[in-house]
Structure 1
Amino acid sequence: MLDVAPLRGVGRLGTLAGAALLSTLWLLWQLGWAPARVPAAPPTLTVLVWHWPFADQPPELSGDTCVRYGVARCRLSTNRSLLASADVVVFHHRELQSRRARLPLAKRPRGQPWVWASMESPSHTRGLGRLGGIFNWVLSYRRDSDIFVPYGRLEPHAGPAPPLPPKSGTAAWVVSNLQERQRRVQLYRQLAPHLRVDVFGRASGRPLCASCLLPTVAPYLFYLAFENSQHRDYITEKFWRNALAAGTVPVVLGPPRATYEAFAPADAFVHVDDFGTVRELASFLWVLAFEIFIPLVLFFILLGLRQKKPTISVKEGECPWGGGGARGHGGGVRVGQAVLTASHMPVLCARGHTRVPAATLPRAVPGRASWLG
């Protein structure tokens, strides 16, 4: 058995020394000093989506939802029981507008920011008056939003560019709602006598399933990317997905040309405002169609290279639609700032990424007047 000898000689001096040490440590602690520690990991932020956009039943979100989008230390949830502990709460306006969802009845936690989210244009946004002074941040497609979420963005290809689809039609348009008072409908009515436009969607009696849209549009040279209303920064999936992702040239009706050029190369689309009349627009599209169509015919038929499809390489810092000559143009037709050649076929589109700039509290959601800008 191991014997342990008792400590000797501690006595009164030992007691005083121990008391002095404890007093010194307590004083240093009070002054804010503490031994160096390993920094604690930043806390995980909880983002509560109060009602999921365009859904009566919210989806089941896994714990790694944020990780899949490259966001660290974040948890996205639709569990309303987390209201008291959530770091931020997001409300989608469409559900508030339709009264299908309401704001929380429980007392709002102190300092908790609420986000007003909407991807609709002012023409389709109602009921803002009763929401004044409630929200702190704005999430929308507008560049002046606290949280800017565009409908899409262009990024350089990391690898080989996808092949161009063969072209057999002139222009296509997919539309689900035709209202004669809308400028896009009026423009289509004026354009149709001068240019063959094949119309798809519920409004035409030729509806397309979600997976059918791109294969249907891809064989066309042009796509009418006409927005249902014209407002600041309002460029939707009609431009990004229906046109660019399908490999067609967008003919755009929306915000001014300068806005489109903030998101895409100046020669990547045809803007209707570049033309004085609809007849001039149609004539330009016909000329451009022959510039695109003839090289494709030569490539696929006359040269007998049916099994080989042309591709476009994209390098960092270059226009994704390439070409020779100044600014990447190879002798294309120019009207205003629109210059397109056979090589100017869109081949690249990626979904937008949320950019969250710094924001301070409090701040109210914009009123109807400011949102109409």
Structure 2
Amino acid sequence: MVIIGVFGCIKMTRIAESGLNPTCKRTAILAVLVISILEIYYVSKLERGPAVQPYRSGPQHSIGDYTFEMTMESDTELSTPVLQQSGEASSLSNPREGIGNGTVKPSHSQLNESQIEAEISRRLAAATDKKIILIWSLAFGNKDAHSENPKICGNCEITYDRSLISDERTGAAVFHFDSIRGNDMPTPRNLNQLHIFWDMESSATLKVARRLSLSFEDSYKFNATMTHRLDSAFLASYQSASLADSQMGKNVSIYEDVLSRKSKFAIAMISNCGYTNGARVRLAKIKELIRLGLKMDGFGNCFNKKISWKQVPETVAKYKFYFSFENSYHCKDYVTEKFFNNALRNHAVPVVWGATKKDYEKIAPPGSFIFAEDFDTPQKLIDYLSFLDKNDTEYVNYFKWLTMKPEMLPQYKRIRGFCAICRALHGINADERFSPKFDRSNPSVPLFSDGIYPRVVPSLIKWFYGEDNPECFH
């Protein structure tokens, strides 16, 4: 500032000594004086250090102790939410990188499991205010009744009543892929809500069989997902929540009970004979096994022998092996009710094909299944099953999981589906810790929050299609 003042004085002296007329001299001196004062003021502001403010546009919306702000990206016409906790500077600047990808206070993430469970219990007891989950887009036209246990999930109502989209209690709107239409979405969009993309089909079914580009879904900027993928915001597993508790922790005498009910060899239940490429390959593989001499009974449309769902438990329990072959090949985390509810629940050893072995191991009881791809030829698989059929000791080894504690089942404590959504509406995000992408040192979503903690799906296409295995789409 002193230097600026000195240079200002020099300039005014030179003007006074110049040959300009008196009026011009006075005008020039006044101009130098004003410029010098402005320069001194500006430099003083720099020396104090200006507060750096993020670019902002649009209104703010409060959710609990958090503040929503709308930002616009140059390559999109859609606004996406950015979170900023009240009283704290936010490090989130790029909506495509997902809400919460900045630094989150690690206090809750540092809790051990017992402390996390205790905090969940405390918050569930306080989760008495009713939250609404609106199913906006139907799953294959069905309006199935949904209800969740408030002691486990919190107080929520699950409804199909679209008029409730504007109700202040509505915290989530769910959109099933089958009935999403660009001209049938909530308008205007309530930024205080989770808008959730819902799907339980494989990515191959959507991309190859249904030819869905997901371009509209991608542009809509869903801020949460509910699918079979383990890295979904909310897991929509085919596994029944009661499977572990109802089946595991049994006495060793269970082996004798299992063996006493086995009078038949192998069973398969298939009705999709060729809608997907995986379905066509599946049926060809099973027919090849039968041609080579595998003793198998087939049910479903592909075998022209129908069976009602009520008959499944009693029927499957008579067989030693259940062929749980999926309609998609190596599609990430895609394991259906064939494995969980048809085979494991009814105590038939699942012979599996479809997902990768690692994917099965991430969700299956330890030592519970036979992976078909472990065998070089179909004949070697048949030979191994025949060996087990004649060796009870080796066969019952596949049921050791029944005597294990339920906690040994992968993903055991993870809450699924609408129950998990209800928890999130009450600020309980603890199921995030089961996601393969969870970073305990820097979680993108805190385990607990005051009210809804929004998510962002940066690109649904890149996530659902781009992060799947390439062979899934062949």
The TM-score normalised by the length of structure 2 is 0.54
1:152 corresponds to which residue?
239
Q: What does 1:1-373 correspond to in 2, within 5 Å? A: 43-56=129-142, 58-59=143-144, 65-67=147-149, 70-85=152-167, 86-96=170-180, 103-104=184-185, 106-125=187-206, 126-134=212-220, 135-152=222-239, 154-156=243-245, 157=248, 163-164=257-258, 166-179=261-274, 181=277, 182-192=280-290, 193-230=292-329, 231-292=331-392, 314-316=403-405, 353-354=416-417, 355=420, 356-357=431-432, 358=445, 360-364=454-458, 366-367=460-461, 369-370=465-466, 372-373=468-469
C-alpha deviations, 1:13-65, integer Å up to 9, x for none?
A: xxxxxxxxxxxxxxxxxxxxxxxxxxx97643211111342334x2466xxx3
> What CA distance in whole angstroms lies between the structure 2 residues aligned with 1:312 and 1:104?
46
| 3-state DSSP of counterpart to 2:153 | coil
Structure 1: which amino acid aligns with 2:342? Answer: N
Tell me how far apart the structure 2 counterparts of residues 183 and 59 of structure 1 sit (CA, whole Å): 32
Q: 2: distance between equivalents of 1:252 and 1:41? A: 41
SS at match of 1:53: coil
Please state whether the residue corresponding to 1:203 is helix, strand or coil: helix
Structure 1 residues 72 and 41, CA, compared in 2 at 3 Å: closer, same or farther? Answer: closer
Per-residue CA distance 1:77-111 (angstroms, 9 max, x = gap): 21110111221100111223xx6x96325321233
Residue 353 of structure 1 aligns to which amino acid in structure 2? R
Distance 1:372 1:210, change over 3 A: same
Query: Structure 1 CA distance, aligned partners of 2:363 and 2:455?
Result: 29
C-alpha separation between the residues in 2 aligned to 1:237 and 1:277?
26
8 Å Cα contact 1:151/1:351 also seen in 2: no
Q: What is the distance in 1 between the residues matched to 2:374 and 2:366?
A: 12
Deviation at 1:195, TM superposition (A): 0.9
Report the 3-state secondary structure (helix = DSSP H, G, I; strand = E; otherwise coil) of the residue aligned with 1:114. Answer: strand
Find the residue that maps to 1:70 and give its secondary structure: helix
Name the SS for the 1:241 alignment partner: helix
Task: Let me know the Cα RMSD of the aligned residues.
Answer: 3.4
| Unmatched runs of 5 consecutive residues or more in structure 2 | 1-125, 207-211, 421-430, 433-444, 446-452, 470-474
SS of alignment partner, residue 215 of structure 1: helix
Amino acid at match of 2:333: D
Identical residues among aligned pairs (%) = 26
SS across alignment from 1:247? coil
Whether the 8 Å CA contact 1:136–1:362 is kept in 2: the answer is: yes
Measured after TM superposition, the shift of residue 224 of structure 1 is: 0.5
What is the CA–CA distance in structure 1 between the aligned matches of 2:402 and 2:235, rounded to whole Å? 30
Give the gaps of 5 or more residues in structure 1: 1-39, 297-309, 321-348
Question: For residues 282 and 205 of structure 1, what CA distance do their matches in structure 2 show?
Answer: 24
Look up the equivalent residue of 1:132 and give its one-letter code. D
- Greater mean deviation of Cα atoms: 263-272 or 220-229: 263-272
How has the CA–CA distance of structure 1 residues 139 and 159 changed in structure 2, closer, same or farther, with 3 Å as cutoff? same
Q: Say which structure is richer in helix.
A: 2
Partner Cα distance (2:407, 2:161) in 1: 45
Q: Distance in 1 between matches of 2:360 and 2:324?
A: 12
Would you say the 8 A contact 1:138–1:365 is kept in 2?
no
CA distance in 1, matches of 2:198, 2:161: 18
TM-score normalised to the size of structure 1? 0.67
**What is the CA distance between 1:266 and its match in structure 2?**
3.9
Q: Aligned partners of 2:232, 2:372: CA distance in 1, in Å?
A: 27
Equivalent-residue separation in structure 1 for 2:261 and 2:216 (angstroms): 52
- Following the alignment from structure 1 to structure 2, what is the Cα–Cα distance between the partners of residues 360 and 123? 28
Number of equivalent positions: 286
Distance 1:351 1:369, change over 3 A: closer
User: How has the CA–CA distance of structure 1 residues 166 and 68 changed in structure 2, closer, same or farther, with 3 Å as cutoff?
Assistant: farther
**Following TM superposition, by how much is the alpha carbon of 1:141 offset from its aligned partner in structure 2, in angstroms?**
0.8
SS in 2 for 1:281: helix
Instruction: Give 3-state SS (helix, strand or coil) of 2:229's partner.
Output: coil
Over 3 Å counting, the alpha-carbon distance change for 1:350 and 1:110 in structure 2 is closer
Alignment CA distance shift 1:89-1:318 (3 Å): closer
Identify if the C-alpha distance between structure 1 residues 124 and 312 changes in structure 2 by more than 3 Å, giving closer, same or farther: closer
Q: Deviations over 1:241-290 (max 9, x none)?
A: 11111210000002221211111234211001111111111100100111
Per-residue displacement from partner, 1:99-149 (whole Å, max 9, x unpaired)? Answer: 6x9632532123322100000001211241221131111111111111122
Return the offset for 1:228: 0.4
**Using a 3 Å threshold, how does the CA distance of structure 1 residues 287 and 69 change in structure 2: closer, same or farther?**
farther
What is the distance in 1 between the residues matched to 2:369 and 2:400?
19
Residue identity matched to 2:298: V
